[in-house]
Amino acid sequence: SAVISQKPSRDICQRGTSLTIQCQVDSQVTMMFWYRQQPGQSLTLIATANQGSEATYESGFVIDKFPISRPNLTFSTLTVSNMSPEDSSIYLCSAEQGAQGETQYFGPGTRLLVL
């Protein structure tokens, strides 16, 4: 199974600033995803990070707020821009792996608190 790491593991930020979260996979994967988990809630998909092209965003999420990079098959970043307290969440990276791309594995998450 894919092993996924994220940096930072947690951060406290001031409103109006931006934070970039890094996601590293220990093997090449085709599909990488970014999720958000607000306090006490289930996971919500933000976007699919596509290698070599622009990310595909889900309804309610826009590139200006959550720019994503995917420079290669093992790495991706998510930036949370112009943060407000409502952005306080856990941000999770996942990658799909398997002979038929059948299983998603998750990183440990980045806990973000915006003051």
Partner 1 sequence: DAKTTQPTSMDCAEGRAANLPCNHSTISGNEYVYWYRQIHSQGPQYIIHGLKNNETNEMASLIITEDRKSSTLILPHATQRDTAVYYCIVRDPLMDSNYQLIWGAGTKLIIKP
Interface residue with partner 1 among 55, 78, 92, 114 (CB under 8 A) is 92
Name which of 40 and 85 has its Cβ closer to partner 1. Answer: 40
Q: Which of 51, 58, 73, 81 binds partner 1 (CB under 8 A)?
A: 58
| Residue 112 is a binding residue for partner 1 (CB under 8 A) | no
* Helix/strand/coil (H/E/C) assignment for every residue in 32-96: EEEEEECCCCCCEEEEEECCCCCCEECCCCCCCCCCEEEEECCEEEEEECCCCHHHCEEEEEEEE
Quick one: 16 or 101, whose CB is closer to partner 1? Answer: 101
